[in-house]
Amino acid sequence: MACITATGTVTASGRAILSAAATPSTAQQVADTTGLPVFRVRSALRELTQAGLVTESAGRFQAADRVHVADRVHVAGKEPAP
Amino acid sequence: MSVIERDVPDEQVVRGVGLPRLGEPAPDFEAVTTHGVLRLADYEGGWLVLFSHPADFTPVCTTEFIGFAEIYPQLRERGTELLGLSIDSVYSHIAWVRNIQEKTGVAIPFPVIADLDRKVATAYGMVMPGESATETARCVFVIDPRAVVRAMIYYPPTTGRNLQEIVRLIDALQAADTHHVATPAGWRPGERVIVPAPATTEQAAERVAESDAGEYECIDWYLCTKKV
């Protein structure tokens, strides 16, 4: 996955996207805020939505309430392999 | 059933030799890339240059990747993204782009599809069995913001592409769309463009009159140019 690692942490670009989506935003708005290409933002938002870190409504994306954009965001259920 | 399908084990049948067609929707895809899982729809609203190369860690491809990296800023200024592809693993791609940066100092800023299952290569007709049945040829597909195939270029494995021609092609396609004109051979931005030829005798007469009035420069009624 591009913005969530195999051990369940969110990458730097993923954290930037979560931060940019603190308020409901379109993918283009997130791209403008982060400076990332819109294709990467669309892909990352899809991934973050599947992980439950972002919600989508009417084409606008918002970081889920439980997300606090810290240095490392851990995704529940993605525990490191033993 | 064709002869090939009858005589050759199914897994060895070379499929997808048909090519996309200009003016038709680009084949959809979802693919693993060096920048994560990408879909064609992720590029909606912008131009996309989808290109393939035969293999990672090969000499001509390395010079091309350096060339693609050099034109990437020019393409982004034109609202155009680059997306590479070969039948290699994502780990091979990662190792190769890191090696290019380590050895040449050139960072590869665009994603590269790891098309191990050949789904994208097959959909776009990138494998030319007469050249190589296991590698993609040097293909370029220009896809517009409506996901329509607008141009295709095919080069054999022996011959590296001219990357500036791809920039020129994007300029020409965008000028044609913006101004509803055509562009002459070797056209570059700032040069005169071709006015679509008249389709009737009446329009031809009008075009000659417009030329006489100085609106166009015409060699004859069917070959007129103007500035844009």
pLDDT at B117: 96
Residues 1-30 of A with CB under 8 A from B: 1-3
**pLDDT value at B141 more than 70:** yes
B161 annotated ligand binder = no
CATH code of the domain occupying A12-63: 1.10.10.10
Question: CB A47 to CB B45 under 8 A?
Answer: no
Do B173 and B185 form a contact (C-beta atoms < 8 A)? no
pLDDT at A81: 45
Q: Where does residue B33 rank: exposed (0-12), middle (13-18), buried (19+ CB within 10 A)?
A: buried
- CB-CB neighbors (< 8 A) of A38 in chain B: 42, 45-46
- Give CATH superfamily name and number for B180-228: Antioxidant, Horf6; Chain A, domain2 (3.30.1020.10)
Q: B112 has which bridge partners?
A: B84
Report domain extents, chain A: 12-63
**pLDDT value at B142 more than 50:** yes
**pLDDT value at B13 more than 60:** no
Question: CB B41 to CB A1 under 8 A?
Answer: no
Q: Over range B156-160, report the average pLDDT.
A: 95
Do B85 and B50 form a contact (C-beta atoms < 8 A)? yes
- Residue B66 has which token pair? 């350096």
B100-128, pLDDT tens digit by residue? 999 999 999 999 999 999 999 999 999 99
Is A38 in the B-facing interface, judged by CB distances under 8 Å? Answer: yes
CATH code of the domain occupying B16-161: 3.40.30.10
State the nearest Cα–Cα gap between A38 and chain B, in angstroms: 7
**pLDDT value at B2 more than 60:** no
Q: According to DSSP H, which parts of chain B are helical?
A: 3-7, 59-77, 90-104, 119-123, 163-179, 201-212
Distance of alpha carbon A20 from the chain centroid: 9
Q: Where does residue B152 rank: exposed (0-12), middle (13-18), buried (19+ CB within 10 A)?
A: middle
State the nearest Cα–Cα gap between B42 and chain A, in angstroms: 5
Q: Over range A47-62, report the average pLDDT.
A: 95
- CB-CB neighbors (< 8 A) of A43 in chain B: 35-39, 42
Residue of A nearest to B30 (CA): A43
- Residue B5 has which token pair? 């399908």
Report domain extents, chain B: 16-161, 180-228
Residue A52's SS3 state is coil
Is A42 in the B-facing interface, judged by CB distances under 8 Å? Answer: yes
B54-99, pLDDT tens digit by residue? 999 999 999 999 999 999 999 999 999 999 999 999 999 999 999 9
In degrees and rounded to multiples of 5, residue B59 shows phi and psi of: -65, -50
| Partner residue facing A37 (CB), from B37, B39, B81 | B81
Residue B86's SS3 state is strand
Q: Please write down the long-range contacts of B176-182, taking CB distance under 8 Å and 24 or more positions apart.
A: B177/B144, B178/B228, B179/B228, B181/B226, B181/B228
pLDDT at B14: 46
Catalytic residues of B: 61
Prediction ipTM score: 0.82
Q: A55 has which bridge partners?
A: A62
